[in-house]
Amino acid sequence: GENVEQHPSTLSVQEGDSAVIKCTYSDSASNYFPWYKQELGKGPQLIIDIRSNVGEKKDQRIAVTLNKTAKHFSLHITETQPEDSAVYFCAASSERSSTLGRLYFGRGTQLTVWP
Partner 1 sequence: KAGVTQTPRYLIKTRGQQVTLSCSPISGHRSVSWYQQTPGQGLQFLFEYFSETQRNKGNFPGRFSGRQFSNSRSEMNVSTLELGDSALYLCASSFGQTGELFFGEGSRLTVL
Where does this chain bind partner 1 (CB under 8 A)? 32, 34, 36, 41-46, 49, 89, 91, 93, 95, 97-108
Q: How far is the CB of 46 from partner 1 (least distance, A)?
A: 6
Report CA 41 to chain centroid distance, whole Å.
19
Q: Side chain identity at 114, as an amino acid letter?
A: W
Query: CB of residue 33 vs partner 1: minimum separation in angstroms?
Result: 9
CB closer to partner 1, 101 vs 115: 101
Q: How far is the CB of 15 from partner 1 (least distance, A)?
A: 27
Question: Residue 25: left (phi > 0), alpha (psi -120 to 50), or beta?
Answer: beta
Q: Which is nearer to partner 1, 51 or 58 (CB)?
A: 51
Nearest-approach distance from CB 42 to partner 1, in angstroms: 6
55 to each of 43, 71, 79, how far by Cα in Å? Answer: 28, 12, 22
Minimum CB distance to partner 1 smaller for 44 or for 80: 44
Chain-centroid distance of CA 81 in Å reads 18
Contact, 7 vs 108, CB < 8 A? Answer: no
Name which of 58 and 107 has its Cβ closer to partner 1.
107
CA distance 54 to 68: 10
